[in-house]
Each structure stands twice: as C-alpha cells, then as structure tokens.
Amino acid sequence: MTHHIAIARKARLLVVAGALILAGSPPVANAATNPASASFSSKSNLTFVSAATLPPDTLRRLNNPVPLDRYRPEKTAAPALEFATGPSRVPVTVGSEETDLREQCAKQKEAAASKGWLKSRFETCQKRPFDLVLRDTKGTQEIGRLWFDMWVLGFATDGARRVDYVSSIENIRVQTAPGSGADARNWTVGQYFSHTSGFPSDPSSVVTGPKEENRDELLGAWDKKPQWTLTYTSPDSGPQWSKGNLQLATSLVMAELTVNAPGVKPYKQVDAYHSNVRFDYAGPTAGKHKGTVFSEGRAELKLSLKDPAVKESAQHILDAQEHPERTFPSWPGKSVPGAKEPLHRLIDINKQKENREKSIKECAKVWGDYSGTPLQCDEYPFASTREGSGKGDDRYSVRLIDGKDNETGGNRLNLMYTANRILDGDPFFVTITS
C-alpha cells in the first residue's frame, strides 16, 4: 500500500514539473484549490509582463527576490536543467576601461536606465533594470517574478574604424509563487542585436557586424557567463581626404530583448538599446587620420576664468553668452549661441577668412587702429564655425584682448576639434567655468 502511495505522489510531482514543457498538460490534482497551478498548466494563458503595470497589492506575494545562485524551486525539476552555483560560478572579468565606465555609468542612473549615458563621443553605457512578472493572461494569478540588469558598454575607437559593445545580463533574481510548479531554471533571456549602414552609394558605407549578433540562453547560462562582446567595423580605401572623400559611414546599432519560458508567450522589449555610430577617414583635420565616434555624443570646449592663459578669451565668451547687450555689434534683443544652442564647425578656409575679415573690420570700427599694440581682435562665435560673423545675422561679438591669450584660446579650440573628431558641420558647445 505504501509503495502505491509513493508512486502516485511521484507522478503528481512529474506533472507539475513538466507543466512548462508539455503542451496542453492536464491540471494537477489540486487545481481546484490552487488556482496558480491551474493557470500554470495552460501554456496559452501565460505571459511575462512588466511589474510596473501591476498594482503593488497584486505583487505582495512576489516581492522577495532570490539571487539565482541560491534559487531552488519548491518541487524538484528535471535533473538536466542546471545552472552555475556557489564557488563554481565564473566571475565577471572586465578590463580597467570597462570598470571605469561602469562605475561612472552607475552614477548616471536616470540617464543610463533610459536612453543610455554618453560619457563622450567615444564611450557610452546603459544599465537598464528589468522587473517582469509571469502571470495568467486573464489577470487572475501571478506565477513568478524575474529581476535582472541589462548592461551595454560601448567603445568607439579613435584611430580605427571600429566600435565594440560589451553587453551583459547581470544581477539575476527570481521568485516563484508557492504551489505554482514554476521553475525559473527553464526561463530564458535573449539579446538580439542588429545594425544598419548609411550612404549606400559609397562603398565605405559598408558596416560589418560580428558573426553572431544574437544570444538567447537559460538564466543559468547568463549567470555563469554574463558578458559577451560585439564588434562592428567598416572597411576603407586608404587616405582619400585630399580628394574630398572622407569615407563616411553611419550605422544604427540596436538591441531587442526577450524573456521566455516553455509554453509561455514571450516578453519583448523592441528598443532595449540603441546607438548611432559614425566611421570616417577624414585625415588630419580630425586628429588621428581615421576613427569612429558615437555621433550623438556631446563635444564641448571648456575654458576657465581662473586660467591665466585664456582668462580674457573666457571672459569675452561669457559676456557674449550671458550679457550680449554689452558686446559689439550692439542691437536690441541680441543673443549669441554656443552655451545652449550649439555651434557647428566650418572647414572651408575661404569662409573662415571672410569671418575673420568682417570681425576685424568691426573691431576697427569700435576701437580704431590698434596695429602696433599687443592686442588682437577676438571673435565669438569663432571664425571656424558656421555661426561666425560672416553668417550675416549679427549674432556675434568682437573684443580686443591680449594677443597671446587669443592665440592660446584658438589652440585650445583646435585641440577640442581633433580630440573629439569634429568634422565639418558637427555641433559642439562652449562652457565657461569660474
């Protein structure tokens, strides 16, 4: 008699453990008294949803996350489903560059969790937390809950037509409802990257991605090896900038995230991550002759009022930005761009010359002949921008300042151009600090 009871009990356990896998599995014996088991036994009625869409009282049974390496379902699951635990877990190995970016990214929590944080035109990151609930599509029962962080660190290369992404699923935590029969070791997370190329008429527009842009694995596989790297490159034909060919290539790199389980309608986050990348071979005007940038990254020229080498240049720019009415040319309602409204680099040497000539005439008009003095005519916005004096809208300022100060300010501007791979028409901002 005892032997038959044991067999019957074992059979019930197998039915519950196999509920995620077998299509149309019959409800367990106690389904009438355990609605969670009844919901879980029907694969067509289950789906992952964002926990943010559910009221707090609905989640009260599922608000105690358990780290994956300590998770154990209430009932024994199929022995073939294993995951890394305890000492056997492989630690995350990252270089100093990745470590630094991760630490800084963590401090930019709000930006990093949504669109991602652009540290510079060469580094970007995103730390996006996910909190999902496996529930009955009828909204009657919550079966389990899954928490994890999706990281993407991006590194564009100055000196090569290459960008690398270090992506990972980390900090995995789970909880299943008592009696549901759910086994989170059956759950999977997938990352599906894709990329596009621009300028189809230009052979250099080709962007080559990694052999494998997708990774879809069990939670245990992510827990054991959280990171993977994707590299995108663009070929070039050698130096062509003297002929006007900068070999520009643009690409939109995107990632879709999925969460799934056997017999469950998958959760999809279509735009889980994206970044815009530009490859060029622009020559010396961009610093290193070729390179890659995150084109939406902010470029900024910073000058300090406390820096004796550029204090007069900095004061002129600050006055033009904050008190344009005190600058020349003077007119009612004048405003000067650069602080909140970006400036744009101008490469055309002839147009730069036109800007300088007009600015010098304005200086002579206001202060007279200053030849033979150590003073020079400082102009803002700079002659090397499309917003210079030659634009014709008089939204500029000129001032006589010390010549060495003026030249040092110009050198700082050129360094900013090359350090950020600022090409013709690229935007940048100017910030003055005290």
Residue 203, pLDDT score: 74
Contact of 251 with 165, CB cutoff 8 Å: no
Provide the pLDDT for residue 86. 36
Q: What is the pLDDT of residue 44?
A: 58
Are the C-beta atoms of 208 and 232 separated by less than 8 Å? yes
> Given this model, what pLDDT does residue 357 score?
98
- pLDDT, one tens digit for every residue, the chain (434 residues): 444 434 343 333 333 333 322 223 333 333 333 334 434 445 558 999 999 999 999 898 899 999 998 987 654 443 333 333 333 333 344 467 788 999 998 888 787 777 789 999 999 999 999 999 999 888 788 999 999 999 999 999 999 999 999 999 999 999 999 888 899 999 999 999 999 987 777 777 899 999 999 999 999 999 999 999 999 999 999 999 999 999 999 999 999 999 999 989 999 999 999 999 999 999 999 999 999 999 999 999 999 999 999 999 999 999 999 999 999 999 999 999 999 999 999 999 999 999 999 999 999 999 999 999 999 999 999 999 999 999 999 999 999 999 999 999 999 999 999 999 999 999 999 999 99
Task: Output the pLDDT for position 225.
Answer: 97
pLDDT at position 27 is 31
| Residue 229 token pair | 């790297």
Spatial distance between the Cα atoms of 397 and 338, rounded to a whole number of angstroms: 12
Q: State the pLDDT at residue 74.
A: 58
Q: Which of 163, 370, 341, 124 is nearest to 251 (CA)?
A: 163
pLDDT tens-digit profile of 14-60? 333 333 222 233 333 333 333 344 344 455 589 999 999 999 998 98
The β-bridge relationship of strands 300-304 and 427-433 is parallel
| Predicted local distance difference test score (pLDDT) of residue 236 | 93
The answer to whether 301 and 415 are in contact (CB under 8 A) is no
pLDDT score, position 226: 97
Distance of CA 208 to the CA centre of its chain: 20
What string of H, E and C letters represents the secondary structure of 166-199? EEEEEEEEEEECCCCCCCHHHCEEEEEEEECCCC
Q: What is the pLDDT of residue 370?
A: 96
Question: Residue 139: its pLDDT value, please?
Answer: 77
CB 158 within 8 A of CB 291: yes
pLDDT at 280: 96
Residues 6+ apart with CB under 8 A from 419: 287
